Amino acid sequence: MNMIEIQENAELFDRNTFHVAAKARYFVEISDIDSVNEFLASDLAAGNSLFILGGGSNVLFTGDFDGVILHPAIKGIDLVSEGVDHVVVRAGAGENWDDFVDYCVRNNWGGIENLSLIPGTTGASPVQNIGAYGVEVMDFIDTVEGLYIKERKPFKLKAKDCRFSYRNSIFKTELKGNVIITRVSYRLRKKPLFNTRYPDLEKELNNYDETTVANIRKAIITIRTNKLPDPAEQGNAGSFFKNPVVTKAQSESLKPFYPTMPEYNMKDGSVKLSAAWLIDQCGWKGRSCGKAATHKKQPLIIINRGGASGKEIYDCAQKIQKSVMNHFAIRLEMEVNIV
Ligand code: FAD
Ligand code: EPU
């Protein structure tokens, strides 16, 4: 089997969950680690700009890509070590994230069940430190392995060196564009500790007799299926913006004017505000913007109403950003990676 597949002038429509049409000069799919190294040494890699694409569920292509889109399709799940109360399990970057969560839940390994049904690949999970329903993947990552692109040298980073924070990591900052993640190891609990404090989850779990990792997964799947638009029906990339983190003084200055404004106190004393709420207050819920729109239940999600270009979606995002800036003097930062 050929481990490197090269396609020229490739259509990306089915490779991004916004389902915007865009072409890549080259689309390269690589299914083993040695071949990643081999490819990086090639003229094709050296002579072109490179972008790594996993499942395309957090990217927006605003035009054609005149370079190489590299898709790591490295598969495999293996048990690295096992103790009395934990396992370390490693997944190839090309494994589907939710299939991996399902595999762990079936083994009753606890930790990432709250992250059920997040689209994309395991290789992307450390990039923005995926999170949902009170859990962030940083708490369960053991090691991230990959290759530096220019130097073609392998790296292995422990979680503490990945500079994880809310929707951020070293892979979105210092190492952005410089690495290919090939495998990620997760440290999970054989005796699960449940995280059920998120109000929606707590409520949904009332429908189950016991709290188990399997039931948490089921509950999360129910909540997400009812709330979030399915990219197969309405193109989207989940939350378009991050929830803004402001100083205590900033949030306190808004409170007298907006007493119902949701706030979450962070460990470092700063305050996380709800981007959905801010956007909603600006009258953006379910509002169309050319062929794009904000979702009717969750205005933080921008959807493709059909046939929208990436540029059109980007313009819509900028209009939302402007509204929130004018109304609240808060700058919303895009979570989606603009290409
Ligand atoms: P891509 O979109 O392909 O890439 C994302 C970024 O990671 C890009 O910058 C890319 O270059 C980089 N990257 C990807 N793979 C690699 C690699 N192997 N090596 C180096 N860099 C790489 N996110 C959450 O955190 N929580 C949620 O609850 C959530 N819900 C969502 C719901 C929906 C309906 C959708 C569509 C998206 C949601 N997301 C959520 C966003 C998205 O699922 C995650 O960001 C996911 O991790 C992206 O994975 P991907 O493989 O599709 O990455
Ligand atoms: N809200 C409104 N109007 C609405 C919807 C929500 O005002 O129409 C307010 C409500 O106050 C609500 C609050 O927004 O309580 C929070 O809403 P939600 O629980 O949906 O969470 P979120 O902060 O909007 C975040 C993540 C999601 C993740 C959920 C669940 C970010 C940027 N987004 O959304 O992640 O699934 O929490 O934990 O942090 C993603 O990153 O792509 C993503 C979907």
Percent with pLDDT over 90 in the chain: 99
User: Once rounded to an integer, what is the mean pLDDT over residues 238-263?
Assistant: 95
Atom of ligand 2 nearest to the CA of 239: 42
For residues 175 and 132, state if they share a domain: yes
> 274: CA distance to ligand 2 center in Å?
7
Residue with tokens 């991050």: 242
User: Once rounded to an integer, what is the mean pLDDT over residues 302-316?
Assistant: 97
Reply yes or no on whether the pLDDT at 283 is more than 70: yes
For residues 31 and 134, state if they share a domain: no
> Looking at 150, 182, 202, which one is the last position of a domain?
202
Nearest alpha-carbon partner for 263 in 249, 133, 159, 102: 249
> Looking at 148, 178, 202, which one is the last position of a domain?
202
Residues with CB under 6 Å of ligand 1 are 17, 51-59, 72, 93, 118-121, 123-125, 127-128, 130-132, 179-181, 228, 231, 236-238, 337
Six-digit token string for 309: 């270009």
CA distance 326 to 319: 11
Reply yes or no on whether the pLDDT at 34 is more than 80: yes
CATH code at position 99: 3.30.465.10
User: Once rounded to an integer, what is the mean pLDDT over residues 51-79?
Assistant: 98
pLDDT at 192: 85
Instruction: Identify the band that residue 288 occupies on the pLDDT scale cut at 50, 70 and 90.
Output: very high
Atom of ligand 2 nearest to the CA of 167: 39
For residues 62 and 102, state if they share a domain: no
Nearest alpha-carbon partner for 161 in 152, 150, 179, 149: 179
Neighbours of 233 (CB within 10 A): 8
Dump pLDDT digits (tens) for 15-33.
999 999 999 999 999 999 9
> 296: CA distance to ligand 2 center in Å?
13
Nearest alpha-carbon partner for 94 in 159, 5, 31, 18: 31
Dump pLDDT digits (tens) for 152-204.
999 999 999 999 999 999 999 999 999 999 999 999 999 989 999 999 999 99
CA distance from start to end of the chain: 31
Reply yes or no on whether the pLDDT at 1 is more than 70: no
For residues 95 and 46, state if they share a domain: no
> Looking at 27, 51, 72, which one is the last position of a domain?
72
DSSP string over 226-243: HHSPPTTTSB--SBSBPP
Contacts of 174 (CB under 8 A, 6+ apart): 163
For residues 81 and 68, state if they share a domain: no
Please report whether residue 221 resides in a domain.
no
Dump pLDDT digits (tens) for 79-136.
999 999 999 999 999 999 999 999 999 999 999 999 999 999 999 999 999 999 999 9
CA distance 8 to 24: 7
For residues 33 and 90, state if they share a domain: no
Ligand 1 atom 31, closest CA:
238
Nearest alpha-carbon partner for 216 in 68, 121, 115, 299: 115
User: Once rounded to an integer, what is the mean pLDDT over residues 221-242?
Assistant: 96
CA distance 50 to 1: 24
Ligand 2 atom 17, closest CA:
276
> 242: CA distance to ligand 1 center in Å?
13
Please report whether residue 197 resides in a domain.
yes
Helices 213-227/97-106 angle, 10° precision: 150
Ligand 2 atom 2, closest CA:
277
> How many domains is the chain partitioned into structurally?
3
The residue range of the domain holding 182 is 77-202
CATH code at position 324: 3.90.78.10
> 5: CA distance to ligand 2 center in Å?
38
227, 301 contact by CB (below 8 A): no
pLDDT at 124: 98
Dump pLDDT digits (tens) for 46-62.
999 999 999 999 999 99
Six-digit token string for 169: 């990591």
E strand segments, the chain: 4-11, 23-30, 50-52, 59-60, 65-72, 77-82, 86-92, 131-132, 135-136, 141-148, 154-158, 179-189, 245-246, 263-265, 271-273, 288-289, 292-294, 302-304, 337-338
Mean pLDDT rounded to a whole number for the chain = 96
User: Once rounded to an integer, what is the mean pLDDT over residues 282-307?
Assistant: 96
Q: Is the entire prediction scored with pTM above 0.95?
A: yes
For residues 68 and 184, state if they share a domain: no
With H, G, I as helix, E, B as strand and everything else as coil, classify residue 81. Answer: strand
